Amino acid sequence: MTGLTLDRLSLRHPGAARPALEELSLEMAQGEMLALLGPSGCGKTTALRVVAGLIQPDSGDVRFDGASVLHLPPERREAVLVFQSGQLFAHMDVATNVGFGLRMQRRPRAEIAERVAEALDQVQLRDLGHRQPHELSGGQRQRVALARALVLKPGLLLLDEPLSSLDAHLRGEMRGLIRRLQRETGITTLVVTHDQEEAAVLGDRVALMLGGRIRQVGAGAALWNRPADLDVARFFGGCNFIPGRSAGGRFDCALGQLALPPGAPEGEGCLTLRPEAIEPGEGPNAVTVQVLETRFEGLLTRITAEAGGLRLEALMRAGAARGAAPGRALRWRLPAEALWVLPGV
């Protein structure tokens, strides 16, 4: 179990217009599972490779338990990276693949065999040791890759999009397996993903990375409901932004005075609330809106409405959305606990 510190890492790939990492800092406690979330191209895989030692940063530091590891080559770091594609070695069978790292440590043959069997057991592939990689399904390959890392009992496990190459129905299963194994082994795990849901399910905490830097770290729900800025709010699908002023637990804006939850930032800013938080009917923070458009999106219906010259979007279940027809006036409640103020926007 290793604690990880990334200290103001910067890196620009040769010839690239924008840096892949820009003053990126992150702390991980021992035994923690953290999801590094971000859109494709935000530099998250680069960050993972820097931690693994496969790329050297231009500046900044990587520390394991407080000690810099920048001078260490990948094979001497306590971190093991599991590649997105699994990267099973095509010329070795499953057991040889899993035993590769132990072989590099020159462990005795018997010990390797025993630990490989144990690791394959952990990922529920007990009897597949003699298969060739091309004989495995995508999910099995990913599990072998996981076993190949776990068998080394690394201080830090780095997972690069471990579920992205899997079919939808396999993802849930694999997600559960990763969570369970992480709990059992307690290995500090940094998992990179572009999928919000995956990040929320896998990570004890989620770190959102945009444009080469960490924008917000916290529990999944905090990032959804308490975004630090407009970009974060937009990344998570926020679409209601109401300019105004926050003072004394109330927000002054074109919709009138709205009650805020305790602890909301003060001053000029932008009020945000998620579209699915809006409820129909009377109550505190109720406003009158004029429906502009409704769009059926399967489970939910998206209603676009106008109030005080502002556009609001709400996502409601079919029952709640009943009666919302273009041109009609409705009363919507904006629950105080769902409101959040982005200061200074």
Partner 1 sequence: MAGSATSAIEVIGRGHPWLSLAPALCVIAVLFGGGLVLGLAGSLGMGRGGVSLDAWIAVLSEGRVWRSLGLSLWIAFASTALACLIGLGAALLLRRRFPGQGLARLLFQINLTIPHAVGALGILWLLSQSGFVSRLSAGAGLIDGPAGFPALTQDRFAIGIIAHYVWKEVPFIGLILLANMQSLGDDPESAARSLGASPFAAMRLVLLPLLMPALIRAGAIVFAFSFGAWEVPVLLGQSAPVALPVLAWQRFTDPDLATRPEAMAIAMLIALVAALLIRVAMVRR
Note the residues at the interface with partner 1 (CB under 8 A): 49, 52-54, 73-75, 79-81, 83, 85, 87, 89-91, 100-101, 104-105, 148-149, 152, 158
Q: Which is nearer to partner 1, 52 or 207 (CB)?
A: 52
* CA–CA separation, 213 and 220 (whole Å): 18
The structure tokens 């065999």 sit at: 113
CA distance linking residue 202 with residue 182, whole number of Å: 10
Q: How far is the CB of 52 from partner 1 (least distance, A)?
A: 5
Q: What gap in Å lies between CA 143 and CA 6, rounded to an integer? A: 28
Give the nearer residue to partner 1 in terms of CB position, either 79 or 258: 79
Least distance CB 96 / partner 1 (angstroms): 10
Closest separation between CB of residue 46 and partner 1, Å?
13
Shortest distance (Å) from residue 194 CB to partner 1 = 19
Query: Positive or negative CA dihedral for 272, 274, 275, 277?
Result: negative
Q: Give me the DSSP letters along 85-96.
A: T----TTS-HHH
Residue 157, φ and ψ in degrees, nearest 5: -105, 130
Q: Which of 329, 327, 328, 305 is nearest to 316 (CA)?
A: 305
267-273/300-307 β-pairing? unpaired
Decide whether 10 or 85 has the Cβ nearer to partner 1: 85
Q: Among residues 79 and 206, whose Cβ is nearest to partner 1?
A: 79
Q: In 81-190, which ranges are continuous DSSP H helix?
A: 94-104, 109-122, 138-150, 168-185
| Shortest distance in whole angstroms from residue 41 CB to partner 1 | 18
Distance, in Å, from the CA atom of 90 to the CA atom of 145, rounded to the nearest integer, reads 12
- Select 36 or 330, whichever has its Cβ closest to partner 1: 36
Handedness of CA 40, 43, 49, 52 (dihedral sign): negative
Nearer to partner 1, 90 or 168 (CB): 90
* DSSP structural state of residue 108: -
Using the minimum distance from each CB to partner 1, give the nearer residue, 56 or 105. Answer: 105
Give me the least distance between CB of 28 and partner 1, in Å please.
Answer: 18
DSSP-derived letter for residue 72 is: S
The distance of closest approach from Cβ of residue 186 to partner 1 in the complex, given in angstroms and rounded to an integer, is 20
